[in-house]
């Protein structure tokens, strides 16, 4: 093996040491040692490094490799995400670099002014309807962590939104959402997913007695448990806990798990009953406490007696 020839291949043809090893059928370390002895270690290292850099540039610009397969790109992306999950040191370094290099550029006063102007240029709105739609679609399916929600609440308070952390919406927003939900109930978007055991038993008894009933009947967007067609009768089956039976609960009791007072639930139920009456329906409220304390025969007799009061 001629060392001069090998050196010319390295310098002029930009062949790497592994490639020279294949050409001359010698071990890479042997060729490297021969070049080091003849031309000096630092000189050869400098040449091989420049060859590596040149190839990296070509590879990154797609000259040699070309665009990557989308499947490979996705595989690399997932691998990067997994490696970041449990790498606190990498996260810390990335955060420091963001603060050092990105924050000074993005948070300048001129940059802030440009953002505000660009957002307000369309009739003083922050976003166009098209942008809002895109943001909404991109946010679907995302679930914010408790930490993120807390940050959002604090941010809202700083902007002047008048509600405490964790409460959710202003009264104006609640009213809007309430109207939207009522309309959705009316057209059947929402369907009740739970019926209590007692509720199911009452429906079964009424059916056995020959009454034509509608389960989950709607009046002005409000769902009612049972509607008996022939009697124009609405039946509400109220659970002891969910509707706070007055024989068990005091009106000033505060339910921490639901963040509400008993008297507020009673007021809601009272308004619901009045809505049915004002719409021309008769109404019967059956309490779980009265119904489930009876045996099977007693339950049938109880329903018969209650229904008889509304027969024409």
Predicted pLDDT at 104: 59
Residues with Cβ within 8 Å of 233's Cβ and at least 6 positions away in sequence, in order, are 227, 281, 282, 283, 284, 307, 310
Would the pLDDT of 206 be above 90? yes
86-120: pLDDT as tens digits: 788 888 888 788 777 766 555 666 766 776 676 66
pLDDT tens profile 128-145: 778 778 878 887 777 777
Residues ≥6 apart with Cβ < 8 Å to 247: 289
CA distance 230 to 213: 9
Task: State the pLDDT at residue 227.
Answer: 93
165 pLDDT band (50/70/90 cuts)?
very low
The closest of 192, 197, 199, 283 to 237, measured between CA atoms, is: 199
Q: Span 61-69, mean pLDDT?
A: 56
The span from the CA of 200 to the CA of 239, in Å, is 13
In this model, does residue 283 exceed pLDDT 60?
yes
233 contacts 225 by C-beta, under 8 angstroms:
no
Q: Residue 158 to residues 109, 144, 216, 282: CA-CA distances in angstroms?
A: 19, 20, 43, 50
Given a contact cutoff of 8 angstroms between Cβ atoms, the answer to whether 299 and 206 are in contact is no
* Helix locations, 62-196, DSSP H: 70-85, 88-97, 103-106, 109-120, 129-139, 146-158, 171-187
Residue 21 or 66, more confident: 21
The pLDDT-based confidence of 202 (bands split at 50, 70, 90) is very high
How far apart CA 50 and CA 14 sit, in angstroms, is 9
Q: In a 3-state reduction of DSSP, which class is residue 310?
A: coil
* Burial (0-12, 13-18, 19+ Cβ within 10 Å), 221: middle
How does residue 234 score in pLDDT terms, banded at 50, 70 and 90? very high
| Whole-number Å distance between alpha carbons of 161 and 157 | 5
Confirm whether pTM is higher than 0.85. no
Reported as type and span, the H/E element at residue 210 is none
Antiparallel, parallel or unpaired: β 233-238 and 222-228: antiparallel
- Tokens 């009740």 map to which residue? 192
Query: With the C-alpha atoms ordered 216, 217, 221, 223, is the resulting torsion angle positive or negative?
Result: negative
pLDDT, the chain, mean: 80
Q: What is the mean pLDDT of residues 12-20?
A: 85
Instruction: Tell me if 241 sits within 8 A of 292, measured CB to CB.
Output: no
Q: Residue 243: name the closest of 267, 221, 226 by CA.
A: 267
**Residue 166, pLDDT score:** 46
CB of 281 closer than 8 Å to CB of 272: no
Q: What ranges make up the beta strands (E) of the chain?
A: 213-219, 222-228, 233-238, 254-255, 260-261, 282-287
Choose between 156 and 81: higher pLDDT.
81
Spatial distance between the Cα atoms of 170 and 161, rounded to a whole number of angstroms? 8
Which one has a higher pLDDT value, 232 or 13?
A: 232
- Band the pLDDT of 238: cuts 50, 70, 90: very high
């Amino acid at each position: 093996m001629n060392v001069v020839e090998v050196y010319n291949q390295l310098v002029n043809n930009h062949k790497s040491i592994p490639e020279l090893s294949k050409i001359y059928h010698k071990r890479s370390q042997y060729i490297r040692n021969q070049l080091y002895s003849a031309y000096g270690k630092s000189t050869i290292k400098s040449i091989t490094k420049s060859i590596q850099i040149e190839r990296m540039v070509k590879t990154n610009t797609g000259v040699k490799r070309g665009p990557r397969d989308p499947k490979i790109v996705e595989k690399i992306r997932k691998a990067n995400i997994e490696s970041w999950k449990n790498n606190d040191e990498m996260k810390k370094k990335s955060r420091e670099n963001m603060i050092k290099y990105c924050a000074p550029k993005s948070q300048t006063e001129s940059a802030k002014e440009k953002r505000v102007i660009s957002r307000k240029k369309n009739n003083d709105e922050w976003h166009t309807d098209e942008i809002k739609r895109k943001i909404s679609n991109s946010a679907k399916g995302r679930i914010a962590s408790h930490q993120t929600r807390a940050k959002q609440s604090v941010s809202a308070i700083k902007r002047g939104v008048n509600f405490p952390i964790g409460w959710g919406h202003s009264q104006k927003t609640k009213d809007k959402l309430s109207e939207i939900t009522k309309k959705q109930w009316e057209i059947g978007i929402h369907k009740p997913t739970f019926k209590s055991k007692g509720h199911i038993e009452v429906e079964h008894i009424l059916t056995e007695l020959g009454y034509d009933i509608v389960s989950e009947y709607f009046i002005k967007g409000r769902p009612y448990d049972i509607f008996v067609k022939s009697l124009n009768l609405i039946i509400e089956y109220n659970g002891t806990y969910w509707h706070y039976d007055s024989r068990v609960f005091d009106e000033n009791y505060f339910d921490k798990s639901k963040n509400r007072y008993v008297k507020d639930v009673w007021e809601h139920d009272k308004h619901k009953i009045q809505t049915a009456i004002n719409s021309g329906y008769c109404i019967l409220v059956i309490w779980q406490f009265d119904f489930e304390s009876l045996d099977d025969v007693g339950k049938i007799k109880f329903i018969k007696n209650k229904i008889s009061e509304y027969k024409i």
